Structure 1
């Protein structure tokens, strides 16, 4: 039976409680069709039994924050809470049971009269019978397990988003495809609504620098990238602020990383290369120990008597190096120190004479071969 608290009219069923049939009809009509405005301007509201029985639909006024609407332990087969507010939620409460009705949504409920007896579902206004629909933020966050997804909200995952101006930290909004404009160096790429595994395809409209960072922006080759207009890249959020560039494609079709020699990989080179020789300067005293870090092709001027020693192999145990020497007017005798073997032509101190020094160091042994070029 209903719980509208309408006294029975028949004698003996409700002694000393009489009412007209109009009063009973009015109570029933109100419970089935009336709307009660609940004033939340003073905070949370607890409905009395009389208030709860007096309407089918409850709407808020004065809602300035999330408020609780507590209903009494009265049986109601159906009632609605229509949250007409634009920004704040209403938490419908019966004992320990709560259901949140977000701004702009409708909650449909029934109560069974027990301490915690509240059951309800939340609907979107104008949803034509569809349950509560997810916002684009809820779709991007991917944690809601009850709301339905509309095609429009789903498009937030893949549609073309608004162009984003380059900045030290770039923030990508809704969408899965973006143009980045400008030429400001980028050190970090984030999402306005972050979710591990979320990808973004990006096109760069100008030349800028992407700065590699092993903790926040991992780039191919672990090195910075200078973009060109039309370059494309695919980024994915791996873990929180850790973003990885999965793919980078240059607009002109050239590879981002050219073929390189690796210390642990066998390679077959089919092309040659050129190099820029390093100027080691004028040597006129002391000991000259060439540094391979400056390059394996170097040149120097003999400007006075000095000593030539084999270069260090550092953490390795082998190297080859060629040094071109030219005597100037102050050229002096060049002596050698610590070479295992010295071969080749005789060195001179004649102004303008040139020589090539071919140096090989291997497994603790070193060889210098001198070739006169005149």
Structure 2
């Protein structure tokens, strides 16, 4: 640069006539020679400065860097060659990988810089721009999601964002590749109590009913389900997530003891306007924790009267076995036909003050006996509670749960018309 400056200074201070400038315009030391030399030297100096700037940027590695290279139109997964990059597809929008040699156009080692492309803890590690070095109208932009090592080059996982054309570069085009790093994922915050100073409003989401009606993926907690398709699953959400679901049409919810737990352990027929609250148990499992029928009876005022009969749920049929299992969460009344001498197991899911009836039937043989598990009590002791032995006879045993571990029994024998 100093040589160019000196030559130009000579031109600017000389008097350009034949007497004072013996070289004239085109002589050995004349204006033309100095001018050509001066601008040639300046061009060389400018190129050297640009190369130095590129090298300085490429070695910075703070929030981004860039390097010079050439583009190759081949798409094979292989080392593209010294100072070369290429994509894995001829059309930029279809590219999923960029293959970059470990050296730039000047031979500088890029290994550490290329390996740092995926240092961000974000899913999107940053943005990679391919710019034609002599034609600013030609460019491509990609996001970066990872880097894989290969012998002599790196495989950069990319996703197309945009560009000036489907493929703006030809084979051997000179490029400048620039990378801007994304910031790391911030720390996860948490609430530790406090009061809201304003309303917290749910976003209402509408989903069409399907075998798997994915309320777990809904963008809000208030979900409106349309259609009449039977529902057998509700998708996946984190354990403890809640959804309020309003049904726009009549459909069936299919009970599953693990993945779709419904009240009463039975399928549920929803009507238009019904509302259900579901809690995620994690792993695609849900429990209906509350259900409001659109046709439900309004709450009674104190001292009011029912305007019609209150109907209970039909008796739950128990499975006959040596020890008969009972689950009080399934209903209030239960029935079973004895096929041998049996023991009535103490119920699970007992709620204090729950009351109901066991209907115990003899089979066609009769003379079956029924013992009672620990936790049942009756007046005079359980030995006094003997069921009717006649074939086909029914003994009705009423119960009231005093506590979760103590259930009172009283029997009405040989119940018949």
- TM bin, normalised by shorter chain, reads 0.3 to 0.5
* Structure (1/2) with the larger strand percentage: 1
Please, what TM-score do these two structures have when normalized by structure 1? Answer: 0.44
* Structure (1/2) with the larger helix percentage: 2
